[in-house]
Chain A
Amino acid sequence: MAKQVGFYMNMANCYGCQTCQVACKSEQQTAPAVSFRRVRQFNNDYPVMHATLSMGCNHCEKPQCLVNCPVGAYTKLDNGIVYQDHSKCIGCRMCVMACPYGVPQYDPEEGKTSKCSYCKERIDQGLQPRCVEACPGGNLAAGDLEELKAKYSGVQEFPGMPAAAITNPSIIINPAKAFKK
């Protein structure tokens, strides 16, 4: 079986500080309109609920961005990273429309779309993705998906999330308490 990297997200313990988001932005030097990692908020009045989920690219097994890109800017690397060759992008936003998770983001200033690369350059140096390293709560983990599955239990989707069957995202989420019921 081909190697596949992935993310573990401990949503149950995440308190939404957004350090991962800031660290990612700092590392990748993204444009003001672009944030490769976003902390999604789930708020509800009844029953009262506030939960946060930090998500970058899920480096899916069946990436919709890759399938639909007309210039072939996306490739799936040997380690499972869905990588975008940014120089090829023509800004058609097909990947933006196709991704269930809203991961690829369009920068109107540049006229191109970009997305999380799992900090490929850092991985090549034996380092962790910057978001994982930065999380003060230790709520993010990265590594081989099978190893992550052996270490953590969780789900690929919970109510309100896109159906995992579409792309089979390489993620394990320990959902917030409200989503465990």
Chain B
Amino acid sequence: MSTWELPLVIFTVFGQWAIGLAIMLTLVEYFSPATITEANLKQFRMGGMAVLPLVAVGLLFSIFHLGRPFAAYRALFNLGQSMLSLEIAFFLVVGVLALIYSYMWWKTPDKSSRKIVGAALSIVGLAAIVISSKVYALPARLAWDSLQTTAAFILTAVLLGAVSVALLLGKSEDETSLKAKKVFGWVILGAVIATVVVLALFAQTYGASAEQSAAVAATFASAIFVVRLVLGILIPVALAGLFVANGKSSSTIISVALFSVVIGELSGRILFYSSVMSQYPWF
């Protein structure tokens, strides 16, 4: 279990979830503002306010990863060279923007000016996710040093963000909301298909090196992969199917689906770390 790197798992997944949620909310505000009605404003407000605690949980857990948590501030000392320093710097900016964004949803939910903050948060957040993936672009660790890592991190944000906004839309059954649900259904389906493609590409690297083969085997032979497959892939596909078909689904179903996807993504990230870290020392 020590190779699961749980603090890093929670930091990356919750950070990406927060950014994905902000991106999806901002997209709704820019491209389909009519989706947010008086009837569902309360739900959207809760969603906007949830961005900050999600980032906060992520950042808090990133500190638990350190052997010397109280010296965490020093992680910013090598900005010019270390991707990890850059990642922390970007996530701190994300934290500040999330604070403003969630505050605006809390205090002034009727004002549309917060979408500018949402756009800034989305752009910086997306950059933070890409930088986060580049932390693992280590030439010695082939299983991590790949565009698949970047794709997987972005897809986590897209999937969790889309399912979260789907939950906010749960009770709304007006025409605009049903249309938005259909769009989110397609987004969820697209994200899941892309995730399957990323996994297939990773599986294809079996044989590239002894370490890589062991990482691939450790991923697909693990019982955790079954959890990832069922909760993180099959459940969201079912939810997407419901949305695309008729857009009608109960909040309970979407809540269960969101919970499943979160557990599925956490399982996938555990495999990401443990498939490599369990091989230490590599030589």
Contact = CB atoms under 8 A, between A and B. Distances in A.
A102 interface: yes
Contact of B283 (A67, A71, A98, A100): A100
B139 A166 contact: yes
A67 B66 contact: no
B283 A102 contact: yes
Interface stretch (A20-28, A106-114, A135-143): A106-114
B222 interface: no
Interface in B219-264: none
Interface stretch (A4-12, A86-94, A121-129): A86-94
Contact of A92 (B84, B210, B276): B84
B179 interface: no
B72 interface: yes
Contact of A67 (B68, B81, B282): B81
Nearest to A160: B210
A96 interface: yes
A92 B66 CA distance: 5
A112 B82 CA distance: 18
B74 A98 contact: no
B283 A162 contact: yes
B39 interface: no
B283 A92 contact: no
Given A90-B66, A98-B138, A102-B282, A68 B83 contact: yes
Interface residues of B, number: 30
Interface string B45-74: 000000000000000000001111001101
Contacts of A106: 67
A86 to B, nearest CB: 11
A71 B73 CA distance: 9
User: Chain B interface mostly helix, strand, loop or mixed?
Assistant: loop
A153 to B, nearest CB: 23
B76 interface: yes
A108 B83 CA distance: 24
Nearest to A72: B78
A72 B138 contact: no
Contacts of A99: 140
Taking residues whose C-beta sits less than 8 angstroms from the other chain, chain A's interface range is 20 to 34
Nearest to A40: B283
Interface centre among B78, B276, B280 (most CB of A within 10 A): B78
A69 B78 contact: yes
Contacts of B139: 64, 100, 166
Interface in A37-70: 38, 40, 64, 66-70
Contacts of B135: 94
A110 B67 contact: yes
A149 to B, nearest CB: 23
Interface string B271-283: 0000011001111
A11 B21 CA distance: 56
Interface in B110-156: 135-136, 138-141
Nearest to A66: B81
Nearest to B136: A97
A97 B75 contact: no
A101 interface: yes
B83 A162 contact: no
Contact of A64 (B88, B138, B210): B138
Interface centre among B67, B276, B277, B280 (most CB of A within 10 A): B67
B280 A96 contact: yes
A161 interface: yes
Given A38-B281, A69-B82, A99-B140, 19 more contacts: A67-B81, A70-B76, A70-B77, A70-B78, A70-B85, A70-B88, A89-B67, A90-B67, A91-B68, A92-B66, A92-B75, A93-B67, A94-B84, A100-B140, A106-B67, A108-B67, A110-B67, A111-B68, A161-B283
Interface of A: 38, 40, 64, 66-72, 88-94, 96-102, 106, 108, 110-113, 160-162, 166
Interface of B: 65-68, 71-72, 74-78, 81-85, 88, 135-136, 138-141, 210, 276-277, 280-283
Of all A-B residue pairs in the complex, the 5 with the closest CB atoms, nearest first, are: A91-B67, A111-B67, A102-B281, A100-B140, A70-B84
